[in-house]
Amino acid sequence: MIYNIYVYNYKKGEKRYMKKSKISLVLMIMLVVVTVSNTVLAVTGSIVDTNQKGSITIKALSQKNGVTDETSPLEGVEYSLYKVDEVSGEAVTTKEQAEEYIKEVSPVETLTTNVEGTVVFDELELGRYYAKVTDVPTGISEVPESFLVDVPMTNEEGNGWIYDIEVFPKVKVASGEAVVTKTDGVNPMQGVEFKVQISLDDGAWTDYVVDGEVLTLTTNQEGKIALENLPISYEGKDAKFRVIETVVGDEYIMDNKYPSEIEVQPDGTVVVTDTRTNTSAPAAEVGQITIVNEKPEVVKQVLNQEGEYADLTSVNLTDTVTFKITVDVPTVIEDLETFSLTDELPEGLSNVENLQVKALVGDQNTEKVLVEDTDYTKTGNFVLDFNTSKMNDYTTLVITYNAKLDMTSATIGEAGNINTATLEYTNKVDTDGTENDTNTTTDTSKVVTGGLKIKKVNSEAQLLDGAKFKIATTRQNALDGIFVKGTDGQDIEVTTVNGYAQINGLAYNDYETSREYWLVETQAPTYEENGEQKSYTLLSEPKAVNVSGTSHTLDIEVENKKPISLPLTGGIGTVLFAVVGVGLLVIAKSIKKEEVKD
């Protein structure tokens, strides 16, 4: 039988591969590496110093997935060393012979490898020894085989003896791998950082240190991290692992309260425990560990002119404005202390009415009306603080309410009246349940209303005061006397002052394009002529005008002209007509008297 061994020459600083047709000094049942120690006692010639004592140093190395890690010694391997003599007059050369022999004798010494994976049997009498593995730590997938070794051994050069022997058995250690995928519920999340923690028999969790540093992993483009070569035991104790988030994206909830626990079984399989539900399954069945970070969203909308909720609408000053706020409820809602919605109206919107707060519940999104002071509290114009302990099966919150334009402070035109809804929520829950920070997320909707700036002039471009106007939404309404009304229920009517009049609170199209209105002059301005006050000619037809996001700043010029004077009216012409008229009446009466006499 041919065995291969390595002998390390410390003087030459090299390893030399040696092949021997027969090795009677050492019989290795498993792979064993033998090296010469720094304390080699070499005796010239072939004479063994029978007064010399020897030693056997065993250093157990971890072998994971067929690869030996010389930097990873194995603690907790127990070796019993026996001195074996001849059996039935023959030298003990096989494991079977040694096993039979040690049934009748006690070991010279029994030792367990320390944190460096080492045991040292020293002060040994010369002879043949059998090192038997009598105990191994948890996580060893295959018990290392026992072996025979002689003290002393012939040195590499063949001219002396080695009394201090070092042996490096490879111990197969069960290790596993787990893949963690990070998503937002739909898409993978890149750049999320985790630290790995370990728990031993005492149940306490500490950071897992590799090569002097806490093992930290960052998700790739696929949102994945790989935990490789996880041992079944650590420092001779059963080990569990978990990953703790340290960095996530903005607005996401960092939930470390219920991290998945990872444990390697003796056969190398990995079992994952969901600590939220306290259920376990092999990693092969769950495929991988998926950790979802949630980011609650708030959507603020307003009912538009088409009867649909959108982010913008245009309204008249008398219109009721209906708002809707939709809020995603995260699945970890019961672990969040803060979940608050603020929706303070801007100037230009007022009179919150008909507030309704509802939740969609369960897989069927069943609608539930929430009760103030039970499911939430309301403060201010409104700030809603939700009772998260009652929201476990909620999926969505839906809040609706009505408001009105306040024309004393409303913004006219395309800048609009912007209403912002703000959701504040706990964004980090530690493993002990401690909440240490909050995030906010916002959304806006915009209510716009337009106006007209009327400029009244005469044919000489002089500004005219005192003209009155009403406005209608269609030409036909203008002809029929149906006009836009104000908040008092009466027709809006404006009068020019210094030549100008302003009509505000007119809706235009939702998509911020102009809308046609019809302007009707209800009272013409006046002027003075020859000491008399006279009226300009009224507009004979409704005038088409366009209302848009900027029309309230643009002059809509409306011209009035003086009426045409009739010929011979007034002055000398009037006297002449009067004289002629009187004369004709006198003549007519005279003719009538003469006819009566006849």
> pLDDT, tens digit, for every residue of 365-404?
999 999 999 999 999 878 999 999 999 999 999 999 999 9
Q: Is residue 154 part of a domain?
A: yes
Mean pLDDT, residues 467-483:
97
pLDDT for the residue numbered 591: 55
Residue 35's pLDDT is 39
Question: Could you tell me if 339 and 318 lie in one domain?
Answer: yes
Q: Where is pLDDT greater, at 269 or 514?
A: 514
Tokens 């998260």, located at residue: 388
Tokens, residue 400: 């609706």
Question: 410 burial class (0-12, 13-18, 19+ CB within 10 angstroms)?
Answer: buried
Helix (H) or strand (E) holding 436: none
Judge if 226 and 248 occupy the same domain. yes
Which residues does 201 contact at the CB level (< 8 Å), separation at least 6?
237, 238
The reply to whether 323 falls in a domain is yes
Q: How many CB atoms lie within 10 A of CB 402?
A: 15
**Secondary structure element (H or E) that encloses residue 274, with its range:** strand 270-274
Is-contact 121 109, C-beta < 8 A? yes
The Cα 322–Cα 331 span in angstroms is: 29
CATH number of the domain at 266, please: 2.60.40.10
Whether the predicted pLDDT of 68 surpasses 50:
yes
Residue bearing the bigger pLDDT, 189 or 36: 189
Give me the residue label for tokens 């020293």: 122
**pLDDT value at position 5?**
33
Task: Assess whether pLDDT exceeds 80 at residue 434.
Answer: no
Whole-number pLDDT of residue 357 = 97
For residue 31, pLDDT over 60 is answered with no
Domain identity same for 98 and 235: no
Q: Tell me, yes or no, whether 121 lies in a domain.
A: yes
472/481 Cα distance (integer angstroms)? 8
Same domain, 109 and 133: yes
- pLDDT band of 16, cuts 50, 70, 90: very low
Assess whether 37 and 114 both reside in one domain: yes
Identify which of 231, 440, 412 has the alpha carbon closest to the alpha carbon of residue 316. 412
For every residue of 10-72, DSSP letters joined together read TTTTEEEEEEES--SS-EESS---EEE-TT----SSS---TT--EEEEEE-EEEETTEEEEEE
Q: What is the mean pLDDT of residues 107-120?
A: 93
Say whether the peptide bond before residue 152 is cis (omega within 30 degrees of 0): yes
Mean pLDDT value across the chain: 82
pLDDT score for 281:
73
Write out the two tokens for 588: 């007519």
Residues 544-582 pLDDT 10s: 999 999 999 999 999 999 988 666 444 444 444 455 555
Same domain, 86 and 232: no
Which of 173, 198, 230 is the endpoint of a domain? 173
- How far apart CA 315 and CA 311 sit, in angstroms, is 13
Same-domain check for residues 285 and 431: no
CB atoms within 10 A of CB 516: 12
Out of 173, 195, 225, pick the residue that ends a domain.
Answer: 173
Close Cβ partners of 307 (under 8 Å, ≥ 6 residues apart): none
- pLDDT bucket at 585, cuts 50 / 70 / 90: low
CATH number at residue 400: 2.60.40.740
Q: 130 phi and psi, to 5 degrees?
A: -120, 115
Place 210 in a pLDDT band, splitting at 50, 70 and 90.
confident
Instruction: Find out whether 361 and 368 touch, Cβ atoms under 8 Å.
Output: yes
More confident residue, 291 or 278: 291
State the total domains in the chain.
Answer: 5
Asked whether residue 201 carries a pLDDT value surpassing 60, the answer given is: yes
Whether 171 contacts 74, CB under 8 Å = yes
d(CA 387, CA 574): 90
Residue 23's pLDDT is what?
A: 30
| pLDDT of 24 strictly over 70 | no
φ, ψ of residue 401 in degrees (nearest 5): -165, 165
Q: Is 113 within the bounds of a domain? A: yes
If you compute the radius of gyration of the chain from its CA atoms, what whole number of angstroms results?
50
Beta strands in 338-437 (DSSP E): 339-342, 349-361, 366-369, 376-379, 383-386, 394-405, 417-426, 428-429
In terms of domains, do 224 and 342 share one?
A: no
Q: Answer whether residue 183 shows pLDDT above 80.
A: yes
Residue 565 belongs to a domain: no
Reply yes or no on whether the pLDDT at 49 is more than 80.
yes
| CB-CB neighbours of 102 under 10 Å | 18
Residue that terminates a domain, selected from 235, 263, 292: 292
* Residues 258/260/263/267 CA torsion (nearest 10 deg): 150
For residues 219 and 316, membership in a common domain is answered with: no
Instruction: Tell me what the mean pLDDT of segment 191-217 comes to.
Output: 89
Residue 29, pLDDT > 70, answer no
Q: Residue 207 sits in which domain range? A: 175-292
For residues 584 and 482, the answer to whether their CB atoms sit within 8 Å is no
- Classify strands 254-255 and 428-429 as parallel, antiparallel or unpaired: parallel
| The pLDDT value given to residue 13 | 36
Tokens 């149906």, residue located: 482
- Check residue 8 and give its pLDDT: 32
63 plus 193 within the same structural domain: no
Judge whether 242 and 416 are in contact, CB under 8 Å: no
Q: Is pLDDT larger for residue 434 or for residue 353?
A: 353
Q: Residue written as tokens 């003469």?
A: 594
Residue 291 has pLDDT above 70, yes or no: yes
- Using CA atoms, how far apart are residues 137 and 143, in angstroms rounded to an integer? 10
Q: What does the pLDDT read at residue 450?
A: 93
What average pLDDT does range 198-222 have in this prediction? Answer: 89
Least confident of 176-180, 306-310, 441-445: 176-180
Band (pLDDT 50/70/90 cuts) for residue 3 is: very low
Same domain, 455 and 419: no
* Mean pLDDT of the region 274-298: 77
Mean predicted confidence (pLDDT) in 175-179: 80
Q: Are 424 and 340 in contact (CB under 8 A)?
A: yes
Average pLDDT of 259-282? 80
Question: By C-alpha distance, which of 289, 324, 287 is closest to 304?
Answer: 324
> Higher-confidence residue: 341 or 33?
341
Q: Which residue's entry shows tokens 């064993």? A: 32
**Residue 65 — pLDDT band, cuts 50, 70, 90?**
low
At CA 272, angle to CA 269 and CA 276, rounded to 5?
Answer: 170
Residue 359 has pLDDT above 90, yes or no: yes
Tell whether 7 and 147 lie within a shared domain: yes
Is 529 within a domain? yes
The model's pLDDT over 499-542, given as tens digits with 9 standing for 90+, comes to 999 999 999 986 667 999 999 999 999 999 888 999 999 999 99
The DSSP-derived string for 102-125 is TTSS--SEEEE--TTSEEEEEEEP
Q: Is 583 exposed, middle or buried (0-12, 13-18, 19+ CB in 10 A)?
A: exposed
pTM of the model: 0.67
Strand-pair partners of 327 = 298, 397
